[in-house]
Amino acid sequence: MVQVVFDPDDMQDTERSLHTRLIDVDSFDVNIVPVVHLADRSGDTVAAEICTMVMSQPGATVVMASQGRGRSAAVVGSVAEDLLRCLDGPVVVVGPQSGVPDFSNPMIVTLDGSDFSQAALPIAASWSNHLGPQPTLLRVIERDASESTDDTENEQYLISMSGLLSTLTKHKVPYTLQHHRDVGAAVCAHAENIDASLIVASTHGHTGMPRFMLGSAAAAFVRNAPCPVLLVRPAHAAPTEALPHTQQ
């Protein structure tokens, strides 16, 4: 548990506060180490300091709470937004509606057909392999459910992604294709319906839900999801040349 301070005079009070807050989680069978980090340089943000700490510990994952409000309605919170801009690794955001999962229920992996969204699959596989939840794929086409459309190509795409993730996890990976005008609402409703343990998504994509920095879906995820949301900003598109691409 890390808290960043910018004034050395705040160190002692902050340490006492962290130790007091840890009493509330004594029932969890996990060793939590409180760390009060004094910012090295004036003018740095909390996110910049956390990024420096994470980059010094390869493989680290940031877990943080957010109210889903940032500098605009489209971001997940100003600190979370800044972290996602500077980190390539995963950031787990716990919103105000999130419960405390035991990872016995499925986790949702969102896809939009882009290489960027597919780049989240290896991280989703790792979490599944280590914590046990069965992954299930979800693609929401931003379109009214009443509109007629041929979903053959989208179905084939999800079948391919299901096969890939099944190979990585040894789980059978079901998938769901939906049409909805509000992608964020559709994902959160699906998470509620299946009592999901986690939602996994890439923070960049060419259409639909993963356009987190500019769209409204991420804010909706964090504000309304009944479970934590694992966000990944890949450094570059995953090498998926052999996988099919689809159009909205």
pLDDT of res. 71: 41
What structural domains and CATH numbers belong to the chain? 60-248 (3.40.50.12370)
| pLDDT band at residue 26 using 50, 70 and 90 as cut-offs | low
Write down the pTM of the prediction.
0.80
219-246: string of b/e by CB count within 10 Å (b at 16+)?
bbbbbbbbbbbbbbbbeebbebeeeeeb
pLDDT digits (tens, 9 = 90+) for 60-94: 888 888 765 544 333 445 677 777 777 777 888 88
With a CB cutoff of 8 Å and minimum separation 6, the contacts of 29 are none
d(CA 51, CA 60): 10
pLDDT digits (tens, 9 = 90+) for 208-226: 343 334 345 666 777 889 9
- Least confident among 27-41, 173-187, 212-226: 212-226
**What's the chain's average pLDDT?**
78
- On whether the CB atoms of residues 187 and 138 are closer than 8 A, the answer is yes
Which tokens go with 5? 């301070």
Mean predicted confidence (pLDDT) in 194-214: 64
